[in-house]
Homo-oligomer: A and B are copies of this chain.
Amino acid sequence: MNTLSRTAILVLLSCPLAAQNSVSGEWMLTLHEPFGPPGISRLSLLASEGKITGSLWDERVQGTVRDDRITFKAEDVAFALTLQGETLEGEATSSGETVRVSAVRIPQRPAAPHTHDFEPTAFHEYFSSQIKPALHIQVGDTVRTWAVDAGGRDHEGSRRSAGGNPQTGPFFVDGAVPGDTLVVRLNKVAINRDWARSGSGIMRRALEPETLGAMTWAKDFPNRWQLDPVKGLASLEKPTEALKRLVIPLRPMLGCIAVAPPESWSIRTRDSGSYGGNMDYNEMREGTTLYLPVFHPGALLFLGDGHAAQGDGELTGDALETSMDFEFTVDVIPGRSFGHPLAENADFLISIGIGGSLDRALQQATSGMVRWLERDYGLNANESAMLLGFAAQYDVVDLVGSQVSMAMRLPKTTLGPLTKK
């Protein structure tokens, strides 16, 4: 069981079993702002002896309950709500302004998770909350499915969509609420055909401008590869003399994993950000768990852009692009969000930073790890320094797109002796 989901379950277990006609339990609360998009967050309530305690996202909640009416404060906002069947209705007041409020129950974690075999038919070139879910799944569920390659071709080489990283999904995760963290564990990421296509140059931004002029690039360099799943190797179909015996070890990964980005953003599946996206991180492979901030009810999970192998940064612009079979399991950490992607695998905690330059991306990666160590291990900034300064490693994740990304990896062996909060 992974690091964060253990916490998730503890949190869930510590919540009382909500009686059908009680206000206790987990709610998805909506502030109906007069202008602009509604504000949605998780409300956790425990009613006991006329008192209400709990949390609204990461704010403490305290108040009173009488019959079907509850009143409470969260920071400086006063709520007055009434239980009406399965919903709460009422209003919130802050600094003299009053806003209509409603809340619906968040479905409980199912006793037994399901495994879905999902056959995609539509592929999406945008990360967006405006796209209709392809499948509803529940916390703990597993999905077995596949993705076309970055050019829109499936395992048989048939064109299924336009090119540009078409995505499988989105998957609506029942019970994921804005402010939560979505947990996506990659159980399997495997090639499902015997060829790939790649870029054949090096991205110019990864080369010295001063010496670029001295480099010449072929127009039609052979870039189709044979994939041998048994030997786990890729080789050029028509190699040049010098590369005749070149073999690249396969290390299948997904270039894109994303939740729907905030509000109504509609982002081309070439970009990345707080929502994940086209991170092109070669650690997004079998056995890795990704943590993404949830911005919309259901999170809306997209996956795609399989690479049979990729060096750091996806230097060739297109890696060994191929279609992919994959399986993942979802979970939710309620009421906790880091605001950018985190991950872990058997060996490392991983914090992914995304920014306009490598320097900015590294800053986010480092700061994210410091926040993680504070939240999960109770370390202060100096104590974090003692781990990061002597044991942490950085990865160049991605150099493609308007944002680049870096990751900080901290070996779990370093964490071993520490007491988890």
A: residues with CB less than 8 A from B are 33-37, 125-126, 128, 130, 152, 159-164, 198-202, 204-213, 215-218, 221, 234, 236, 240, 242-249, 263-268, 273, 309-316, 319-320, 355-360, 362-364, 366-367, 370-371, 377-396, 399, 402-404, 406, 413-414, 417-419
Which listed residue (B35, B314, B386) contacts A162, Cβ 8 A? Answer: B35
**A130: nearest chain-B partner, CB-CB:** B266
A415 to chain B, nearest CB (A): 9
Given A265-B268, A358-B359, A402-B356, answer yes or no on A382-B201 (Cβ-Cβ < 8 Å): yes
B35-A390 in contact (CB<8A): no
- Cβ contact of A246, chosen from B35, B215, B359, B417, cutoff 8 A: B417
| Residue pair A385, B315 in contact (C-beta under 8 Å) | yes
Closest residue of chain B to A367 (Cβ to Cβ) is: B208
Asked if B163 and A382 make an inter-chain contact with CB atoms under 8 angstroms apart, the answer reads: no
Q: Give the docked Cα–Cα distance between A207 and B356 (Å).
A: 15
Contact A37 B162 (CB under 8 A): yes
Which of B204, B390, B402 is A234 in contact with, Cβ under 8 Å?
Answer: B390
Q: Which residues of B contact A263 (CB under 8 A)?
A: 125, 268
Specify which chain B residues have a CB less than 8 angstroms from the CB of A396 in the assembled complex. Answer: 362, 393-394, 396, 406
Check B315–A389 contact: CB distance below 8 A: yes
**Among A364, A367, A395, A403, residue most surrounded by chain B Cβ atoms (within 10 Å):** A367
The interface residues of chain B lying within 8 Å CB-to-CB of A152 are: 35
Q: How many copies does the complex hold?
A: 4
Contact indicator B370/A207 (Cβ below 8 Å): yes
B-side contacts of A211, CB under 8 Å: 367, 371
A36 touches B310 (CB 8 A): no
- Contacts A209-B207, A236-B386, A402-B273 known; A247 to B198 CB distance under 8 Å? no
Known: A212-B213, A313-B362. 15 other contacts (CB 8 A): A125-B263, A126-B264, A198-B386, A201-B382, A201-B385, A207-B366, A213-B217, A242-B377, A243-B418, A273-B402, A311-B388, A312-B394, A315-B392, A355-B356, A357-B359
**In the complex, A371→B215 CA distance in Å?**
10
A310 and B390 contacting across the interface, CB-CB below 8 Å: yes
A311 touches B382 (CB 8 A): no
| Residue from B161, B240, B403 within 8 A of A35 (CB atoms) | B161
Of the candidates B162, B266, B357, which one forms a contact with A128 in the assembled complex, judged by CB atoms under 8 Å apart?
A: B266
Among A201, A246, A413, residue most surrounded by chain B Cβ atoms (within 10 Å)? A246
CB distance from A340 to the nearest CB of B (A): 10
Q: Contact check, A265 vs B264: say whether CB atoms are below 8 A apart.
A: no
A355 to chain B, nearest CB (A): 7
The answer for the CA separation of A216 and B211 in the assembled complex, in Å, is 13
Q: Name which residue of chain B comes closest to A221, CB basis.
A: B382
Which chain B residues lie closer than 8 Å to A406 at the CB level? 396
Q: What would be 25 A-B contacts, judged by CB atoms less than 8 Å apart?
A: A33-B162, A35-B152, A128-B266, A199-B385, A202-B385, A206-B362, A207-B363, A207-B366, A212-B212, A213-B213, A221-B382, A240-B383, A246-B387, A246-B418, A248-B391, A311-B391, A311-B392, A311-B393, A314-B389, A315-B385, A356-B356, A356-B357, A356-B360, A357-B357, A402-B403
